[in-house]
Amino acid sequence: MSTHPTPPSDLLASDRALLERTIQISEESRQAGNHPFGALLATAEGKILLEFGNSASTERGTGHAELNVARKASELFTPEFLSSCTLVTSVEPCCMCAGGIYWSGIGRVVYGMTEKRLATLTGDNPENLTMNMPCTQVFDAGQRKVAVVGPVEDMEARIAHVHKGFW
């Protein structure tokens, strides 16, 4: 089963607004002493159901915003419902988070900046040893389709700015 990113030109107006919110969440996460990442879960209509920043200060390497969303979504909602939902995140989900998204049943992902671009910002920082594995590679290995929209290149500078001076 092939899962490939949808061109950002296919972004819905609600996707762009939700992506803006994840940038705010990533700023709040940084201000709280965590890594600057934000993610949320929204219905097909764009209603926000859950929001999480990174929680590295307490959960270290597994406290990623996307995994926090996927974990809580799995507690609260059925996979059938989640298949119609979108996880929106400031930065492309890493392979760990993509696995969590897949196993939770979330059907769609929108992200702003690629993991590869993130690696240019974090370098070899031991708190974020970014892997060179697109989320689509993880999703392609599964039996269930996860639609992916991203990167959103015209928002990349704003997302990168939140990381400036952090790593």
Question: Is the four-CA dihedral 130, 86, 56, 27 of positive or negative sign?
Answer: positive
Q: What is the pLDDT along the chain (167 residues), one digit of tens a residue?
A: 444 555 555 677 899 999 999 999 999 999 999 999 999 999 999 999 999 999 988 777 788 999 999 999 999 999 999 999 999 999 999 999 999 999 999 999 999 999 888 878 787 877 777 788 899 999 999 999 999 999 999 999 999 999 999 98
The model carries a pTM of 0.90
* 108 DSSP β-pair partners: 86, 147
Measured CA to CA, the distance from residue 62 to residue 78 in angstroms comes to: 23
Cis peptide before 151 (omega within 30 of 0): yes
